[in-house]
């Protein structure tokens, strides 16, 4: 007797469970990006920081950490690495001495530009498999989730 619906008192099958479904989905996507990232000698996390920075123009560490889903201490190390590599510039906020302001250097902007075509090609491959409509709907769903769970 197979149950198509969830048993009362039992957890849903893992495939139909947000934490695991989101993780597996992300894994299947990242598999396609990892070769590119490691070819450019950059970690997933560093790439996220660069992307968020590019989008934000400039940001303090707290905003960056939130945007890139990285904890403070990790961010400290990542910024050190990116700064040492010249991709990023960290300076102190003149108005608030506690705060750091981070922005891309010209080199950092160039680095992103150099990777962009490859990244777009990989993304296009994913879109081709999924279809533009389904991809868009999925992104809408993820965005809704984020919004609705955001404030509580």
Partner DNA sequence: CTGATTTACTTAACATGTTAAGTGTAACCC
Partner DNA sequence: GGGTTACACTTAACATGTTAAGTAAATCAG
Selection from 28, 70, 29 nearest residue 51 by Cα? 70
Choosing from 4, 15, 73, 132, the residue that interacts with a copy of itself (CB under 8 A) is 15
Reading across the β-sheet that carries 100-104, which strands appear in turn? Answer: 58-60, 100-104, 88-92
Judged by CB under 7 A, does residue 100 bind DNA? yes
Cα–Cα distance between 33 and 35 in angstroms, integer?
6
Options 18, 39, 90, 121; binder of a copy of itself; rule CB under 8 A: 18
Closer residue to DNA (CB): 84 or 148: 84
Shortest CB 20 distance to DNA, Å:
14
Q: How far apart are CA 30 and CA 53, in angstroms?
A: 20
Binding mask 90-129 for a copy of itself (x = CB under 8 A): ----------------------x---x--xx--x--x--x
- The item of DNA, a copy of itself, none sharing an interface with residue 123, based on CB under 5 to 8 Å by kind, is a copy of itself
How would you class 102 by CB atoms within 10 Å of its CB: exposed for 0-12, middle for 13-18, buried for 19 or more? buried
Decide: is 149 part of the binding site for DNA (CB under 7 A). Answer: no
Cβ contacts of 122 within 8 Å, gap of 6 or more? 32, 33, 36
Termini Cα distance of the chain: 39
Task: Kindly state the smallest distance separating residue 86's Cβ from a copy of itself, in Å.
Answer: 21
* Minimum distance from residue 27 beta carbon to a copy of itself (Å): 5
Among 26, 80, 91, 92, binds a copy of itself (CB under 8 A): 26
């Amino acid at each position: 007797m197979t149950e198509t619906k969830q048993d009362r008192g039992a957890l849903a099958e893992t495939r139909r469970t947000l934490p695991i479904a989101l993780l597996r989905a992300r894994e299947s996507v990242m598999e396609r990006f990892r070769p590119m990232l490691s070819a450019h000698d950059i970690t997933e996390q560093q790439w996220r920081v660069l992307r968020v920075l590019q989008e934000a123009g400039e940001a303090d560490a707290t905003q960056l950490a939130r945007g890139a889903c990285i904890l403070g201490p990790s961010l400290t190390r990542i910024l050190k690495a990116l700064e040492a590599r010249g991709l990023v510039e960290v300076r102190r906020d003149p108005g608030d001495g506690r705060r750091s302001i981070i922005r891309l250097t010209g080199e950092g902007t160039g680095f992103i530009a150099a990777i962009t075509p490859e990244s777009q090609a990989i993304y296009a491959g994913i879109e081709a498999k999924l279809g533009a409509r389904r991809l868009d709907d999925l992104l809408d769903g993820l965005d809704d989730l984020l919004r609705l769970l955001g404030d509580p």
